[in-house]
């Protein structure tokens, strides 16, 4: 696939194939790194809106926040243990999260928006149940 794209681009521009190939590889590596930063610090799954953050900017998904809130009278940040807890909603990250799509890891073949990933996995018919 990359070779076809590279051929079409180099045919119409003065850019070299090697330069375009390196750019595509760099962009895909950055994308993988960006997907990792869209994970919750508590459950390590993709964040689910609304996304809350502490004063230091560490994020937690709404599902984990409810669990933390039930277990502690005053929720503390899972990363920095800030006593202020989670104080603000991160709407910018929520919008970025909507732009990512992921394939279901259970193998059903569906492509899901990252923000709905956990909900899909909870209801996926291809999920393997362990007892």
> pLDDT tens digit string along 4-26?
655 555 555 556 667 777 777 77
- Distance, in Å, from the CA atom of 38 to the CA atom of 97, rounded to the nearest integer, reads 7
Residues 10 and 25 in one domain: yes
Residues 30 and 53 in one domain: no
- Distance, in Å, from the CA atom of 55 to the CA atom of 27, rounded to the nearest integer, reads 30
Question: How many separate domains does the chain show?
Answer: 2
- Structure token pair of residue 9: 């681009």
| Residues linked to residue 60 through DSSP beta bridges, in sequence order | 52
Residues 52 and 102 in one domain: yes
Secondary structure of residue 92 in the 3-state scheme = helix
Residues 4 and 64 in one domain: no
Residues 53 and 3 in one domain: no
Read off the pLDDT of residues 62-106 as tens digits, 9 standing for 90 and up.
888 888 888 767 778 888 888 767 778 888 888 888 787 778 878
Q: What's the domain range around 4? A: 1-36
> In whole angstroms, how far apart are CA 37 and each of 13, 25, 57, 90?
34, 19, 12, 13
pTM here is 0.61
């Amino acid at each position: 696939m990359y070779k076809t794209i590279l051929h079409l681009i180099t045919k119409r521009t003065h850019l070299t194939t090697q330069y375009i190939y390196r750019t595509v590889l760099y962009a895909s590596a950055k994308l993988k790194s960006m997907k990792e930063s869209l994970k919750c610090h508590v459950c390590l799954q993709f964040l689910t809106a609304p996304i809350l953050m502490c004063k230091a900017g560490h994020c937690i998904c709404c599902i984990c926040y409810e669990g933390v809130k039930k277990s502690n009278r005053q929720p503390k940040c899972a990363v920095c243990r800030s006593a202020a807890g989670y104080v603000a909603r991160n709407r910018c990250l929520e919008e970025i999260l909507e732009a990512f799509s992921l394939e279901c890891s259970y193998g059903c073949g569906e492509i899901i928006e990252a923000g709905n990933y956990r909900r899909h996995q909870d209801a996926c018919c291809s999920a393997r149940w362990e007892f």
